[in-house]
């Protein structure tokens, strides 16, 4: 007997709560991967596999093997393995670290076989993929593996996030990340007073970076997310580092601010102060037009639900296909807020609409000749 959308919605909510309780820091997604794989393995029509990148893949074969849709949801979170994953359930709200980013997205992907019913009647292959390495320094590890696997084959990518219902992310925000390390000889805080301290230098360098003039248009940001250094309170620090996140709406503006950062860093090097600049992450910018058929389909679907569509830019795993000119969007399943904090929450009532949106998008993609070569 086919489950109703309301029944599927309740399963998705319960699965999201279960997945949220499974720690999954970037590079440590295996427990979640095993959970998703075991659930899909229990379905007769699916034979899931886990690839070298740790992605969990399941295939619905279609009638046209030259065209496919790949639906992804990233498994990793920004929280370390020891972070307390408290969960608070209210009538229309669930609060917990990672519940919306991206336990709910994973739960929607997990239940997609029920959502599209016993026979999706796809014209092309339909891949369901729970991915790795989307957050932090994962550098889109899972998506890179997918692009390599499906290289040269006409493909549409749909990335699922728990939050952001109504947003159509068809523009990828460019991101560059750097680790800046300073080394000095160090010494004793009293007897070697006046000798250069790596901590003092990293503070001065950080101030210089924060004083850089960033363009307002296109919007460009700089964030120092990590600072470490020193050995003891009464030692002149021999080592310190910061990790810097640069973002911009265009590749050109991002390159300009990267050049400015590099010039600023070089000014701080002297005979006894060694400065090391290391790239640690990159997400290329890219986009498809607001008039692209997939964007238009999503607009119409959202309007059917009386949800005003919003065109936004964001940094998601869809950045990679977008940067290569491959059609891709990121969509949300419900509303929520406070992502990347212990107070992160999602709203339960809109989840049913978010799942209907996904099902309808798939149905219309298969019926749209524009996508099929």
User: Does the pTM exceed 0.75?
Assistant: yes
Single out the residue in 248, 266, 283 at which a domain terminates.
283
pLDDT of residue 14: 98
Q: Report the alpha-carbon angle 252-258-259, nearest 5.
A: 95
Number of CB atoms found within 10 A of residue 178's CB: 20
pLDDT tens digit sequence for 220-251 = 999 999 999 999 999 999 999 999 999 999 99
pLDDT of residue 120: 52
Domain limits for position 230: 174-283
**107 and 23 within one domain:** yes
Tokens read off for 53: 């990148």
Task: Mark which of 283, 314, 338 sits at the end of a domain.
Answer: 283
Same-domain pairing of 155 and 267 = no
Whether 314 contacts 249, CB under 8 Å: no
* Mean pLDDT in consecutive groups of 10 residues from the start of the chain, 373 residues: 87 98 98 97 89 96 80 97 96 97 98 78 83 96 97 92 98 97 97 97 98 95 97 98 97 96 95 96 94 95 97 96 96 97 98 97 78 56
Burial (Cβ within 10 Å: 0-12, 13-18, ≥19) of residue 55: buried
What's the pLDDT at 44?
74
Q: What is the pLDDT of residue 369?
A: 58
Which CATH number goes with the domain that contains 40? 3.40.630.10
- 95 by DSSP, 3-state: which? strand
Task: Note the pLDDT of residue 373.
Answer: 53
Same domain, 277 and 293: no
Count CB neighbours of 175 within 10 A.
20
Examine the domain organization and report whether 167 and 135 are in the same domain: yes
Are 183 and 267 in a shared domain? Answer: yes
Q: Residue 104 is inside which H or E element, if any?
A: helix 104-110
| 3-state class percentages of the chain: helix first, strand second, coil last, to nearest 5 | 30, 30, 40
The domain total for the chain is 2
């Amino acid at each position: 007997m086919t489950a109703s959308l309301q029944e599927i919605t309740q399963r998705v909510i319960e699965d999201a709560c279960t997945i949220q309780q499974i720690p999954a820091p970037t590079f440590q997604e295996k427990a979640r991967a095993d959970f998703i794989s075991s659930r899909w393995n229990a379905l007769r029509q699916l034979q899931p596999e886990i690839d070298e990148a740790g992605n969990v893949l399941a295939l619905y074969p279609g009638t046209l093997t030259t065209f496919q849709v790949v639906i992804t949801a990233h498994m990793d979170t920004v929280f370390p393995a020891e972070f307390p994953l408290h969960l608070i359930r209210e009538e229309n709200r669930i609060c917990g670290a990672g519940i919306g980013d991206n336990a709910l997205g994973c739960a929607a992907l997990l239940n997609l076989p029920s959502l599209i019913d016993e026979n999706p009647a796809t014209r092309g292959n339909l891949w369901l993929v729970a991915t790795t390495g989307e957050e932090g320094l994962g550098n889109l590890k899972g998506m890179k593996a997918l692009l390599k696997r499906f290289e040269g084959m006409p493909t549409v990518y749909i990335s699922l996030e728990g939050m952001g219902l109504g947003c159509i992310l068809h523009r990828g925000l460019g991101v560059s990340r750097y680790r800046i390390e300073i080394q000095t000889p160090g010494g004793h805080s009293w007897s070697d007073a006046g000798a250069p301290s790596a901590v003092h230098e990293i503070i001065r360098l950080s101030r210089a970076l924060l004083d850089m003039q960033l363009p307002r248009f296109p919007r460009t940001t700089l964030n120092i997310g990590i600072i470490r250094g020193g050995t003891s309170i009464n030692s002149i620090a021999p080592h310190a580092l910061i990790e810097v996140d640069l973002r911009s709406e265009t590749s050109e503006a991002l390159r300009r601010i990267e050049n400015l950062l590099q010039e600023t860093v070089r000014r701080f090097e002297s005979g006894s102060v060694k400065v090391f600049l290391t790239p640690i992450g990159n997400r290329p910018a890219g986009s498809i037009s607001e008039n692209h058929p997939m964007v238009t389909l999503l607009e119409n679907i959202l309007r059917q639900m009386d949800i005003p569509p919003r065109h936004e830019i964001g940094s998601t795993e869809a950045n990679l296909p977008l940067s290569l000119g491959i059609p891709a969007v990121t969509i949300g399943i419900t509303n929520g807020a406070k992502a990347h904090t212990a107070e992160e929450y999602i709203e339960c009532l809109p989840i049913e609409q978010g799942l209907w949106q996904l099902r309808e998008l798939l149905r219309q993609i298969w019926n749209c000749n524009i996508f099929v070569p």
